[in-house]
Amino acid sequence: MEVNSQDLIQILSDNIKLYEHLGIEVQELNSHRAVFKVSLEKNLNHKGTAFGGSLYASGVLSAYALVLAGLKHYKIDTENIVIAKGSIEYHRPVETDFEIRCAFKDEAEEKNFYKELQEKKRVRADLHVQILGEGGSLRASLVGAFVVRM
């Protein structure tokens, strides 16, 4: 069962107040992957490039959205999702609107994540995020350790 991405966007908007300020347009959001297009204009720093904090925040938000979509897909009644640890590497400046991608490595990784949550009532896993600039060039990468509890 796939969940309506508009319903998920509303949950993000209601629960994460920063969401509305980042200029995010959801391109794809389901239990497999989250893809956001993000406005440079809403995230400019003094150098005319994307502010590092905005890159981090939108990256974390994509991973959060991915997990939220999975919880709805697998009919797990919790929204208790937190990032326990996050690390970002800035490879090159972001000078245009940018894309954020977060996905499970494969179907097995996705299923194991939610199976462990259902069995142990808690799961912790690293989620990987790519921040892409013009032409799909990798501009930053983020790894976040996310914890979900029932």
- Residues 80-116 have pLDDT tens digits of 999 999 999 999 999 999 999 999 999 999 999 999 9
Q: How long is the chain?
A: 150
Low-confidence ranges of the chain (pLDDT < 70): 1-3
Question: pTM for this one?
Answer: 0.93
Q: Helix 52-73 vs helix 5-15: angle between axes, to the nearest 10 degrees?
A: 130
The domains found in the chain, sorted by start residue, are: 5-149 (3.10.129.10)
Residue with tokens 């502010």: 51
Q: Which of 77, 80, 72, 62 is nearest to 127 (CA)?
A: 62
